A and B are shown apart, each in its own frame.
Chain A
Amino acid sequence: MIAAAPSHASLAAASGADLALWVAVPYICLAVFAVGHVWRYRQDQFGWTSRTSQLLEHRWLRWGSPLFHLGAFMVIAGHVVGLAVPASWTEVVGISEHTYHTTAVWAGSVAGVAMVAGLGMLCARRLLTRRIRLGTDRSDKLLFPLLSATVLLGITATAAHNVFGAGYDYRSTVSVWFRGLFALQPQPEAIAGAPLLFQLHALTACLLFAAWPFTRLVHVWSAPIGYLARPYLVYRRRRTTSTVPASTPPHHSTRRAA
């Protein structure tokens, strides 16, 4: 997608800084996101886990983790609707701008507050419980601040502009920019005029996507939906093909079992 040649008048009109921030950065981050996942999946099945720490601390986790995760699901759903679905589509189905706005603010607030509260508890236990703090690795030290920044900027932007403020229609600016990235017709000018909080939120989100494959966030892609359908008892044969040479890379030949 980086190779796609943006040949539009809108790009020519944008300043260098806008091009860098709203075209180059997102595409680089998405490229890192995609390539990083492929690399990690092939190289590091052993590290591909939620890295549960419930064994060491469960009192905060008991509330923090469900709050955070359920809040996050709602927030992600809200972003899909808000960013991916153009305003014209919702109007076609008969949802007025006012209805949309009210629903978005209410549902978004509930979800956002749940997510922030949950994340706050998870960060607190990570910082305050010595056992957990010592088990925190470099990827966590990147992930937790980045995720917190993104979430806090997002909820602050919503609160400042749409709950307490006069209302800001991101669907005609930020969303247009977002869809433009995936349509390979980048429109940096669409977001260039957005309020600072929205811009910062978009940028930290880009960085979060870039960091994603290198953190415990990869466990998202292993959400065990298939469990609902598989047979209860799992039998496996020892591998009996003698064609596997001992020198094959670990991700092909090694099945670690314990």
Chain B
Amino acid sequence: MRVMAQIAMVMNLDKCIGCHTCSVTCKQTWTNRTGVEYAWFNNVETKPGVGYPRRYEDQEHWKGGWMLDKRGRLVLRSGGRIKRLLSLFSNPDLPGIEDYYEPVTYDYDNLVSAPAGQDIPVARPRSVLTGKPTTITWGANWEDGLGGAPEHAGGDPNLTGEWAQKVKFEFEQTFLFHLPRLCEHCLNPACVSACPSGAMYKRVEDGIVLVDQDRCRGWRMCVTACPYKKVYVNHATGKAEKCTFCFPRIEAGQPTVCSETCVGRLRYLGLLLYDADRVGEAAATPDEKDLLDAQRGVFLDPYDSEVIAAARESGIPEDWLEAARRSPVYDLVTRYKVALPLHPEYRTLPMVWYVPPLSPVLDAVDAAGGNQDDPDHVFAAVTRLRIPLEYLAELFTAGDTDVVAGVLMKLTALRSYMRERTLGETGDEAVLKAVGLTAREAEDLHRLLAVANYKDRYVVPAAHKEDAAALSAMENRCPVESSGDPQPAEGRRIMLGIPTLRRRTPEAPAGGRP
């Protein structure tokens, strides 16, 4: 047993209202720079929908993640090592900028500098890649709230099979939910395995997956290998960048920016202990539907005395072990089993998990003329209204509807029980028992999911003081700012700052920095 610790995240999707505050604050913190205008380390997608970049979940096309070869060995879907080196010159499976979207700014300056005239001046969109006026035809969440869904959402790669054909043209009346996505900081990260330079790595102490900017040589294999398409090429530096899980904040014991600013209070951060020796075996589980249990099997019980002894042996400090015991993520993932990983079938063992939304089912209850508050109606809907269930199963359980149904039943029972309690009744424990909860557990889960106090949501132990000098020495500067290179050149300088037009054309002076 080789015990490692990981800071993991859970998101409670029922609470996500799709406000994009997480995306915006993340962008302001990390990607408001030249070269990554198009990149969103955190983005929020409307589901059903094609996602960002377009149809990224279609791995037949994009070749992300892992698969089992004919002999059952775990291999990268994008091919073996030799094939990867042969595609260095031109990567056949790399999304182009048009698969994300062309980043734009606006001629804000025109609003104040236009000569007096009959018409109110407008700020026209202008491509930040070319500086030329452009038409906005796509974005990171173009079909927000199912906008344009009849036209686009049929392209959602999760809508496959017969059940999907039936729903394609009416699902906008059926259900929708928001899916915030960031780097999964996987236990078996395909991006790390695909990096020819060895510039990407997973941190032993907290499991955060990072790109070493000094070692990245711009071979861009990570972008292809990541099935979630959460590694981005900075087109100004030619290097890969990705979500850092806000490691400077995490090291200081603070939640990530996306978590801290989430107005729905739907994110949870906490430690999970896992056995690094069992990662490969779990990722190679033959049946996709067993991957969820296999991954849960890699996680270790922080109360188990053997685990504690092995963790001490691995150098995990006492306060981290204590934090692992208080981890809300451990509770949601392992104890109550209400959180599920996004696309476990990619075999990367992702570490950002989701409590699936009840809302698609509740919408279906409404649509069928039922009562949302009656658990019997909801239970009936969970078992009979297959469409949202099968969709959720495509996302979270490799198509296993029983697991999703189980979680939704649990949430329904919890909801109904706590509703009765709140209304001053005793509460029907039979409902709880049916889903395997005791009254005490229900209250605990309710405290975690519904009350969701700050201190319960985020249990992040700070990095250790004895490391502090080294940390400040390492990170006393912006990770991706210009190194003060003696080498080049105005065009290469990468600084944090207000996003501006990358190049200004003489005929059209634009807003922003002169």
Please list the residues of chain A having a beta carbon within 8 angstroms of any beta carbon in chain B. 40, 43-58, 61-63, 65-66, 68-70, 130-131, 134-139, 214, 219, 222, 224-228, 230, 232-242, 244-246, 248, 250-251, 253-258
Contacts and interface: CB of A to CB of B under 8 A. Distances in A.
A138 B212 contact: no
B218 A241 contact: no
B72 interface: no
B502 to A, nearest CB: 7
A230 B198 contact: yes
B481 to A, nearest CB: 8
A70 B196 CA distance: 19
Given A55-B233, A257-B211, A233 B488 contact: no
Given A51-B238, A233-B192, A256 B219 contact: no
B185 interface: no
B217 interface: yes
Nearest to A216: B238
Nearest to B492: A137
Contact of A130 (B90, B132, B468, B486): B132
Top 3 A-B residue pairs of the complex, sorted by shortest distance between their CB atoms: A224-B196, A256-B213, A51-B238
B90 A65 contact: yes
A83 B32 CA distance: 51
A36 B509 CA distance: 39
Contact of B484 (A70, A227, A250): A250
Contacts of A136: 491
B489 A138 contact: yes
A254 B474 contact: yes
Interface string B169-210: 000000000000000000011001101111011111100001
Contacts of B92: 62
B130 A232 contact: no
Nearest to A40: B487
B123 to A, nearest CB: 22
Contacts of A134: 129-131, 502-503
Nearest to A246: B473
A238 B205 contact: yes
Given A52-B238, A250-B484, A255-B213, 17 more contacts: A44-B486, A44-B487, A45-B214, A58-B90, A62-B90, A130-B130, A134-B130, A222-B197, A224-B88, A224-B219, A238-B470, A241-B470, A244-B469, A248-B473, A254-B477, A257-B247, A258-B30
26 contacts: A43-B485, A51-B237, A52-B220, A52-B233, A54-B94, A57-B96, A130-B130, A137-B492, A139-B487, A227-B81, A233-B189, A234-B200, A238-B471, A239-B470, A239-B474, A241-B470, A242-B466, A242-B470, A246-B473, A253-B473, A253-B474, A254-B477, A255-B212, A257-B212, A257-B213, A258-B242
Interface of B: 30, 81-82, 84-85, 88-92, 94-97, 129-132, 188-189, 192-193, 195-198, 200-205, 210-220, 233, 235-239, 241-242, 244, 247, 276, 279-280, 463, 466-474, 476-477, 479-480, 483-489, 491-492, 502-503
Contact of A235 (B201, B468, B502): B201
A53 B238 contact: yes
Of residues A130, A237, A240, which shows the largest number of chain B Cβ atoms within 10 Å of its Cβ? A240
Contact of A47 (B205, B235, B492): B492
B483 A224 contact: no
A49 B217 contact: yes
A224 B85 CA distance: 8
Contact of B244 (A56, A138, A257): A257
Nearest to B95: A55
B445 to A, nearest CB: 34
B307 to A, nearest CB: 19
Contacts of A47: 237, 483, 485, 487-488, 492
A226 B213 CA distance: 19
A242 B471 CA distance: 8
Nearest to B469: A242
A253 B214 CA distance: 11
B214 A255 contact: yes
A249 B112 CA distance: 45
Contacts of A219: 217-218
A45 to B, nearest CB: 4
Contacts of A242: 466-470
A134 B34 CA distance: 12
B70 to A, nearest CB: 19
A86 B216 CA distance: 40
B476 A246 contact: yes
Contacts of A48: 214, 217
A258 B241 contact: yes
B219 A50 contact: yes
Given A61-B90, A233-B193, A258-B479, A49 B85 contact: no
Contacts of B129: 56, 130-131, 134
Nearest to B251: A238
B420 to A, nearest CB: 49
Contacts of B233: 52, 54-55
A224 to B, nearest CB: 3
A237 B205 CA distance: 7
Nearest to B214: A45
